[in-house]
A = this chain, B = another copy of it.
């Protein structure tokens, strides 16, 4: 399965923030720890902040952190990074549903459901585990 570079960066960043809930993480740290180009990272972070996916503190000793009360799903991340292209139809038909099906509707249904159920709709904080 293919996810965009930006989405992959986003997932890595959120996992890192989730493991460092105390205090703030600077862009410099994130860039070095996660091997993401600094300038590209700061651009993403600003976008996340604007969309209230994370919290930022400006000025010296500033940085980024998760918002405790906020529930984030992978679906939210996909929507933000890849645009709202997380459509349900695999060949991108606008009208593709139970009544009017594309050629792949039935074949794609099960995996799609699984993704939605097990992954996209689950709180990120809950599904992130320790690396091993």
Contacts and interface: CB of A to CB of B under 8 A. Distances in A.
A90 B11 contact: yes
Contacts of A1: 1, 86-88, 90, 112, 115
B115 A103 contact: no
Given A111-B118, A118-B107, A12 B91 contact: yes
Interface in A60-115: 78, 82, 85-88, 90-92, 99-108, 110-112, 114-115
Contacts of A127: 104, 106-107
A88 B86 CA distance: 19
Given A82-B2, A118-B111, A11 B91 contact: yes
This chain: copies in complex: 2
Contacts of A122: 107
B110 A131 contact: no
- Chain A interface, >50% SS class: loop
A40 interface: no
A128 B128 CA distance: 35
A44 interface: no
A46 interface: no
Interface of A: 1-4, 8, 11-12, 15, 78, 82, 85-88, 90-92, 99-108, 110-112, 114-115, 118-119, 122, 127-132
